[in-house]
């Protein structure tokens, strides 16, 4: 019996080390390696978001569920329910950042009589998302390889812009530029809808979040303090905004809607 317990314990420990090692190597480890050995190719995006095999391994619903502490579905539902009925017909909708293409399917289905453009900076993210959209027989989507900080569309082109967990990946200045770009390409009365981390109310969550960000997400803590989306929209864009935020898991996450008044 003791032998069986020690086998189970040993196997569980091994599995945890394997999963932990995978995540560390796919994220922070990949950064350290890129910076040391390929400084010219180094960027702020982890291998698990840009290598086709690692994307394939990581893109599992339970992994996403785990990363977002069980809040994924709730936040996606909130995003979908924030879509105006007039956005669903004959409009132009933009999603910045593929995020594996899962939320794109929901947006495309909800706005099936509109056109959804999905932009991402990583070719493999686009490839994977395009494959999913094709498999789901969704036809109202177009993909573009573009940087969120420098979109090619003209001013006021889109009726609605979605950003799903993009800002926390970007350095401070890029966060700001990408939000300003989203504001620029949005037409008056249109909405920016984004999901992101938020400073939790509970001290325990703040401590755990601080550790998680220190190891895995060096730009995410700016979402708690320095990067104030309301301030950027109101002070750094020439438009007026009506902004509302819904918080999830004791304030650990947010779904924010910013309506461009004029």
Ligand X SMILES: C[S@@+](CC[C@H](N)C(=O)[O-])C[C@H]1O[C@@H](n2cnc3c(N)ncnc32)[C@H](O)[C@@H]1O
State the residues that interact with ligand X by CB under 6 A.
Answer: 45, 49, 64, 67, 96-100, 119-122, 125, 147-149, 165-166, 169
Min dist CB 261 to ligand X, Å, is: 27
Contact 216, 207 (CB under 8 A): no
Min dist CB 31 to ligand X, Å, is: 14
Q: How far apart are CA 149 and CA 46, in angstroms?
A: 18
Min dist CB 64 to ligand X, Å, is: 4
Q: How far apart are CA 28 and CA 82, in angstroms?
A: 34
43 contacts: CB under 8 Å, gap ≥ 6: 34
Cα–Cα distances (Å) from 66 to 23, 32, 256, in that order, read 12, 24, 22
Looking at the Cβ atoms of 73 and 244, the one nearer to ligand X is 73
Looking at the Cβ atoms of 35 and 60, the one nearer to ligand X is 60
Looking at the Cβ atoms of 160 and 166, the one nearer to ligand X is 166
Give the three-class secondary structure for 133.
helix
Which residue sits closest to ligand X, CB atoms considered?
A: 97
- The token duo for 220 is 């995410």
Min dist CB 140 to ligand X, Å, is: 20
Q: Which long-range contacts (CB under 8 A, 24 or more apart) does 142-145 make?
A: 142/115, 142/116, 142/117, 142/118, 143/117, 143/118, 143/119, 144/117, 144/118, 144/119, 145/119, 145/120, 145/121
Min dist CB 177 to ligand X, Å, is: 9
Looking at the Cβ atoms of 43 and 231, the one nearer to ligand X is 43
Min dist CB 196 to ligand X, Å, is: 10
Looking at the Cβ atoms of 64 and 233, the one nearer to ligand X is 64
Looking at the Cβ atoms of 83 and 148, the one nearer to ligand X is 148
Q: Which long-range contacts (CB under 8 A, 24 or more apart) does 204-209 make?
A: 205/249, 205/250, 205/251, 205/252, 209/252
């Amino acid at each position: 019996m003791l032998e069986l317990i020690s086998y189970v314990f040993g196997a569980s420990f091994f599995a945890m080390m394997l999963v932990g090692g995978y995540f560390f190597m796919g994220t922070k480890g990949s950064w350290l390696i890129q910076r040391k050995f390929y400084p010219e190719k180094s960027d702020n995006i982890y291998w698990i978001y840009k290598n086709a095999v690692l994307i394939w391994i990581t893109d599992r619903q339970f992994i996403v569920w785990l990363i977002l502490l069980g809040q994924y579905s709730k936040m996606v539902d909130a995003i979908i329910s924030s879509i105006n009925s007039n956005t669903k017909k004959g409009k132009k909708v933009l999603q910045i950042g593929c995020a594996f293409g899962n939320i794109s399917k929901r947006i495309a289905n909800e706005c099936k009589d509109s056109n959804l453009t999905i932009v991402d900076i990583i070719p493999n993210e686009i490839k994977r998302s395009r494959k999913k959209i094709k498999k789901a027989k969704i036809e109202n989507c177009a993909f573009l390889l573009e940087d969120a900080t420098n979109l090619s569309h003209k001013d006021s082109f889109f009726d609605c812009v979605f950003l799903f967990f993009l800002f926390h990946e970007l350095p401070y200045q890029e966060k700001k530029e990408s939000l300003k770009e989203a504001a620029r390409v949005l037409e008056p009365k249109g909405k920016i809808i984004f999901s992101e981390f938020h400073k939790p109310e509970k001290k325990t969550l703040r401590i755990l979040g601080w550790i998680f960000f220190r190891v895995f997400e060096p730009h995410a803590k700016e979402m708690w303090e320095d990067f104030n989306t309301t301030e950027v929209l109101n002070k750094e864009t020439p438009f007026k905004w009506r902004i509302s935020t819904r918080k999830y898991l004791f304030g650990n996450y947010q779904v924010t809607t910013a309506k461009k008044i004029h």
